[in-house]
């Protein structure tokens, strides 16, 4: 993996069990930082991972930056963020941790 690497990612979102994103590595400072930019419908979704040595292991902090909806979608967005996006992000981080600890990533 290096700056500019591209790949296709599939994940689940409501009403789209095989949701596709075309992704590019837009920042890569091994072993400290990696940023992926997914592009969907002309908008960028940034996933930044900061890796920090900690107690004989590695702490991974993830930041997700994405466009916020306008209009009525923006009114309900905090509910979607708290009820779906944050739990899904936490689940993904737990899965990453398990895969890394089991050597299956």
Per-residue pLDDT of the chain (105 residues; tens, 9 = 90+): 899 999 998 877 777 788 888 999 999 998 899 999 998 878 898 999 999 999 988 899 988 888 787 788 777 766 766 777 777 777 887 888 888 888 865
Residue 84 phi/psi, 5-degree rounding, is -130, -55
Each domain of the chain, given as residue ranges in start order, spans 1-67, 70-105
101 CB-near residues (< 8 Å, 6+ apart): none
4 CB-near residues (< 8 Å, 6+ apart): 24, 25
CA distances from 1 to 24, 36, 49, 55 (A): 10, 11, 14, 26
Instruction: Please choose, from the candidates 31, 66, 33, the residue with its C-alpha nearest in 3D space to the C-alpha of residue 48.
Output: 33
Residue-level pLDDT at 23: 94
User: What's the CATH number for 1-67?
Assistant: 3.30.530.20
Residue-level pLDDT at 99: 83
Residue-level pLDDT at 24: 96
Residue-level pLDDT at 19: 81
């Amino acid at each position: 993996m290096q700056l500019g690497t591209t790949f296709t990612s599939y994940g689940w979102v409501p009403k789209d069990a095989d949701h596709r994103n075309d992704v590019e590595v837009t920042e890569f400072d091994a072993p400290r930082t990696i940023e992926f930019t997914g592009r969907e419908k002309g908008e960028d979704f940034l996933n930044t991972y900061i890796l920090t040595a900690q107690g004989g292991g590695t702490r991974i902090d993830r930041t997700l930056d994405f466009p916020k909806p306008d209009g009525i979608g923006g009114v309900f967005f905090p509910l979607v963020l708290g009820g779906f996006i944050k739990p899904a992000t936490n689940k993904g981080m737990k899965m990453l941790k398990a895969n890394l600890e089991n050597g299956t990533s």
